[in-house]
Structure 1
């Protein structure tokens, strides 16, 4: 798999010496996504541009897919890390979906949105895109803050 650029949204200002540190400092993994997803997550905070060194993965290809969650990722990350997995991907059912689409989905229960298969969710929200969870901080390098939209 080739290296790629992804984005991380920080709510609030980026601390001066911010880094992704070690696995213990991110028990729910390092969540990365598209620029629209990170902007939505950050709000008025900081969006970081991140290089994911996917070429350094030791795990088998393709990257394992998991289901988006509405609660803690801690157990999923712990279990997958114990299996030696370093990177996961999932269809993001929260960030990056335009407000109009979210309003159109209000007729669906939160439970249904989270439990329907990805293929079905893509029909309901075609704007939904994949996000990644990095389990090994050595795979990421912060390139810098993303420039603010004008």
Structure 2
């Protein structure tokens, strides 16, 4: 499989609920004590229709998918794969009670020579999160790096 043939490849779709207890756990794990993540009245007072999710909450979608399968699908050697970066574009609020659908695809592939020899392959993956109304609310971009062997 050539690198160019990966671009646009569908990496699957999953659905998951935005659960109040998981939002609370996530905020606690970040050490964020803002009451908007635990108290609906505080969230409404801050202008939200319900308890919002912390900014990076959508990474919890990984608990709903098989990550090893993605690496194999891409033809990468898991023993040499690093997670290089992650970025988010927020398009609308995500709140408790939403049900998100996450659709992933390969958005780019590039190579470069590593500083310690060998060619590194960078695979960019875009994940679009839409809510139950079909509205795109978050786009997450990840870069996987397969180091030279």
- Which of the five TM-score ranges fits, normalised by the shorter chain? under 0.3
Higher relative contact order by CA 8 Å / sep ≥ 6: 1 or 2?
1
Q: Say which structure is richer in helix.
A: 1
TM-score (norm 1): 0.25
- For the pair shown, the structure with the greater C-alpha radius of gyration is 2
TM-score (norm 2): 0.25
Q: Say which structure is richer in strand.
A: 2
